[in-house]
A and B are shown apart, each in its own frame.
Chain A
Amino acid sequence: AQTVTQSQPEMSVQEAETVTLSCTYDTSESDYYLFWYKQPPSRQMILVIRQEAYKQQNATENRFSVNFQKAAKSFSLKISDSQLGDAAMYFCAYRSVYLAGGTSYGKLTFGQGTILTVHP
């Protein structure tokens, strides 16, 4: 079974600065998807960025980018020019590509989450 680990329970950053959130995962699969989700106090889960494992190029979405190291099974999120609205719980998540017998196809496995505080 896959596992996802976020070793930073809490992080803080000054507004306009850059912060990196860490995520590692364990899998025996060669093809999969990785995601970062943001959950503000409203509880709404918001997709921040996703990465296909077969792509070597790191995904980028505006101020958000990832550092995907497949061999090291590492998937960190970098937030540039941090804004007050970035304050939230951030979850790293893993999704298998292929159906495996007896498992739930398409399910997400989440890390423990990192609470990000942005100071003005």
Chain B
Amino acid sequence: SAVISQKPSRDICQRGTSLTIQCQVDSQVTMMFWYRQQPGQSLTLIATANQGSEATYESGFVIDKFPISRPNLTFSTLTVSNMSPEDSSIYLCSVDRQHTYGYTFGSGTRLTVV
């Protein structure tokens, strides 16, 4: 299965600032997924990132707040913009290795906004 390196593992940020989270995969993948996990809750998909095209956002998530880049088949970033305490969550990236239908997740970024 794919190995994903996700950075940073955690951060404490001031409200109004932005944080960029990076995910590097050890092999080429078609789609990368970004999830949010609010404290004590389940995972919710933010967006799907395909290389060379605009990310597809789920209902309730907008590009201005969560801009995503996907410059190649092994790398993606998620930016959490103009942060507020409500953005305090764990953010995870995930990939779906084609034809295996198994998903691999990054180790997550624990974000605290103060």
Q: Which residues of A contact B (CB under 8 A)?
A: 33, 35, 42-45, 47, 50, 52, 91, 95, 104-113
**Max count, chain B CB within 10 A of own CB: residue among A33, A35, A95, A105:** A105
**CB <8 Å contact, B43 and A91:** yes
Q: Please report the C-alpha to C-alpha distance between residue A12 and residue B112 in the assembled complex, in whole angstroms.
A: 30
Q: List 26 A-B contacts (CB under 8 A).
A: A42-B107, A43-B90, A43-B92, A43-B107, A43-B108, A45-B94, A45-B108, A47-B104, A50-B101, A50-B102, A52-B101, A91-B42, A91-B43, A104-B45, A104-B47, A104-B48, A104-B56, A106-B31, A106-B48, A107-B33, A108-B33, A108-B94, A110-B42, A110-B43, A110-B44, A112-B42
Residue of B nearest to A45 (CB): B105
**CB <8 Å contact, A111 and B42:** yes
Q: Please report the C-alpha to C-alpha distance between residue A106 and residue B90 in the assembled complex, in whole angstroms.
A: 21
* B58 at the binding interface (Cβ < 8 Å): yes
Residue of A nearest to B33 (CB): A107
User: In residues 29-57 of chain B, which contact A (Cβ within 8 Å)?
Assistant: 31, 33, 41-45, 47-48, 56
Residue of B nearest to A46 (CB): B105
Q: How many residues of B are counted as interface, with CB atoms below 8 angstroms from the partner's CB atoms? A: 23
Residue of A nearest to B58 (CB): A104
CB contacts between A and B, total, < 8 Å = 56
Q: Which residues from A are CB-within-8-Å of B101? A: 33, 50, 52, 95
User: In residues 78-114 of chain B, which contact A (Cβ within 8 Å)?
Assistant: 90, 92, 94, 96, 101-105, 107-108, 110
**CB <8 Å contact, A43 and B110:** yes
**CB <8 Å contact, B103 and A47:** yes
- CB within 8 Å for A107 and B48 given contacts A42-B107, A45-B105: yes
